[in-house]
Amino acid sequence: MNVYVCVGSSCHLKGSYHIIHLMKEHMKKSGLADKVNLSASFCLGKCTDGVTIQVDDQIVCGVSSENFSDVFNKYILKGAEEDGNE
């Protein structure tokens, strides 16, 4: 699984580096650090909707500290579980 966090100007101002920190923490706690490729990305084209992340081919907008756990569980944890069952 590949996860990209936008660090373009707009997303940066909306807290993308904090999202990266949260992502690393959650990946470690969930045992996914070696199963998920986490990368920073420049603009993902959703500047007004940031912080934007891309999980494989799916774009997820509006990621914040407040909704991060839900986003992580829905898109990353669930996706990793599905990848493991294939």
pTM listed for this prediction: 0.90
CA atoms within 13 A on the CB side of 26: 20
Question: 51-80, pLDDT tens digit by residue?
Answer: 999 999 999 999 999 999 999 999 998 887
Distance (Å, rounded) from C-alpha 40 to C-alpha 78? Answer: 21
Boundaries of domain holding 25: 2-84
Split into its structural domains, the chain has a count of 1
Report the CATH number at residue 47: 3.40.30.10
Residue scoring higher pLDDT (50 or 72): 72
